[in-house]
Amino acid sequence: MKARLKILMVNKYYFLKGGSERCLFDLKALLESNDHKVIPFAMADRQNVESEYDSYFVDSINYDFDSKLEKLLNAPKIFGRMTYSLHAKRKIEALLSKEKFDVAHLHMIDHQISPSILHSLKKFNVPVVQTVHQYKAVCPNYRMYIPQKGEICERCLSGNYFNAVKQRCHKESLIASAMIAAETTIHKWMKIYKNYIDTFIVPSKFMGLKLAQGGIPEEKIKLIYHFIETKNYPFSLAHEDYFVYLGRLSEEKGLFTLLKAVEKLPEAKLKIIGDGPLRGGLEKFSDERDLKNVEFLGKMLGDDLKKAVSKAMFVVIPSEWYENSPMVIYESFAMGKPLIGAKTGGITELIRHKVDGLLYEMGNVEELRDCIDYMITHKEQIPKFGEAGRARVVSEFNPESHYQQIMNIYDLLIPGSDTNGSVKISERSEPVFT
């Protein structure tokens, strides 16, 4: 491989919106620190990080309307944009005509950009890698979860995406669900993800298995866990007398289960950090049950967030959907904080029971309560778990290792390379990468 690559980094957002964007900016910085040139392609937004290439970004589009009439009137425009955007195709081809790229590294392109750009990348002979942050390739609503039912759903793994219409799994709307079902069906007929993305990087074995079950070729799926720069996180085994949840306050995060678990543990002081659509309901639940041991801190960022976590005994992840590879786990371990996590998705690949945290059956209030009780009554275990978690991110999830794994993937795709870095899912019922 030549020493310096020119990499096209594609994501619909170019500001720190969530965990996916954190991964994008961390990867961009890592590649640039190794002397590669990274050029972004995204959607225009006033929150975007400044870029000299933002004139090539696709126009901003709003998918939220105040009235049903507005939604109906804008439906054709929205459907065209999210299914196959000619606008995005023109924009990226203008950039591809100006710059010659060695590889394109995609993150999230659904709806605001669309997979139309894959045809353009093929036209210009640019190999394509995608880091998969969600289940969009096999699930129309991308979460494999029906919010209004509070249940995990695998119906669309069969390839019949109109199950999404039956379940109204997108915004509880028949029209919105029909649109995403039709969108995903068209993409399946076109084989646009399957044939035009050369490599799918998954940050958990679980994610890789679900993609394979949904029809993505196993030989295209590679496992690379996320990484974390530990020097950016304060490491402390000391703690105060509380534990934290941090993240979005939404149905799939299992927060009512968490509140029920601490209801009978008045000595367990919980601080909930974050915001979201469920906040009002959670606060009402807490007030009705007079949970004096629960405090809602709202959204926190930067040093304030790190300070709150670094002083905690441990962090809890009570999710009740298929979490992929939550960055909060890496970040908590980097700060020397053990975790309690639900046995779902990729969580069990990161938290080792009674090594660097505790695991419990998803949705089981009693088991979660027992885990919390164990932590607060066995405080001598907390620094041991914290040290083990920190040691793991230092040895396994470090920037140097991640960089080499990414380069191995690029090597496979860039002409003239003979490096072999493939990791495949076997045909066994459990995902096994070799």
In the chain, what are the helix, strand and coil shares in percent, each to the nearest 5? Answer: 45, 15, 45
**Distance (Å, whole) CA 93 – CA 123:** 9
Residue 66 has pLDDT above 90, yes or no: no
Residue 24 has pLDDT above 50, yes or no: yes
| Mean pLDDT within 53-61 | 97
Q: Which pLDDT band, with edges at 50, 70 and 90, does 1 fall under?
A: low
pLDDT the model gives residue 390: 98
pLDDT the model gives residue 71: 73
Tokens 């076109």, located at residue = 190
What percentage of the chain exceeds 70 in pLDDT? 95
Residue 235 has pLDDT above 60, yes or no: yes
| Mean pLDDT within 108-129 | 98
Q: Which pLDDT band, with edges at 50, 70 and 90, does 169 fall under?
A: very high
| Mean pLDDT within 49-53 | 98
Residue 54 has pLDDT above 50, yes or no: yes
| Mean pLDDT within 330-339 | 98
Residue 203 has pLDDT above 50, yes or no: yes
**Distance (Å, whole) CA 182 – CA 237:** 51
Q: What is the DSSP string of 219-272?
A: GGEEE------GGGS---S---S-EEEES--SGGG-HHHHHHHHHT-TT--EEE
pLDDT the model gives residue 426: 35
Residue 221 has pLDDT above 50, yes or no: yes
**Distance (Å, whole) CA 273 – CA 369:** 20
Helix (H, G, I), strand (E, B) or coil at 35: coil
Could you say which DSSP state residue 351 is in? P
* Lookup: tokens for 316: 């809890």
Residue 85 has pLDDT above 70, yes or no: yes
Q: What is the DSSP string of 42-90?
A: -B--TTSPP-TTGGGSBPP-----SSHHHHHHHHHHHHHHHH--HHHHH
The one-letter amino acid code at 294 reads: V
* Lookup: tokens for 243: 């534990």
Q: Which pLDDT band, with edges at 50, 70 and 90, does 2 fall under?
A: low
* Lookup: tokens for 431: 């995902």
pTM over 0.85: yes
Residue 4 has pLDDT above 90, yes or no: yes
Residue 434 has pLDDT above 90, yes or no: no
**Distance (Å, whole) CA 298 – CA 286:** 15
Residue 433 has pLDDT above 50, yes or no: no
| Mean pLDDT within 108-128 | 98
Which domains occur in the chain, in start order? Answer: 6-228+399-413 (3.40.50.2000), 230-396 (3.40.50.2000)
Residue 231 has pLDDT above 60, yes or no: yes
pLDDT, averaged across the chain:
94
Could you report the per-residue pLDDT of 376-386, keeping only the tens digit for each? 999 999 999 99
The one-letter amino acid code at 179 reads: M
With contact defined as beta carbons under 8 Å apart, do 186 and 179 qualify?
A: no
Residue 331 has pLDDT above 70, yes or no: yes
Residue 123: φ, ψ to 5° = -60, -35
Helix (H, G, I), strand (E, B) or coil at 339: strand
With contact defined as beta carbons under 8 Å apart, do 322 and 344 qualify?
A: yes
- CA dihedral over 48, 52, 58, 60, signed as positive or negative: positive
pLDDT the model gives residue 63: 80
Cβ-proximal residues to 318 (8 Å cutoff; 6+ apart), any chain: 245, 253, 254, 255, 257, 258, 261, 340, 341, 342, 368
How far apart, in Å, are the Cα atoms of 52 and each of 55, 164, 176, 179, 313? 8, 40, 35, 35, 44
* Other CB atoms within 10 A of residue 270 CB: 22
With contact defined as beta carbons under 8 Å apart, do 397 and 330 qualify?
A: yes
Q: What is the DSSP string of 158-197?
A: GS-TTHHHHHTTTTT-HHHHHHHHHHHHHHHHHTHHHHH-
* Lookup: tokens for 129: 């890698």
Helix (H, G, I), strand (E, B) or coil at 133: coil
pLDDT the model gives residue 420: 40
pLDDT the model gives residue 429: 29
Helix (H, G, I), strand (E, B) or coil at 407: helix
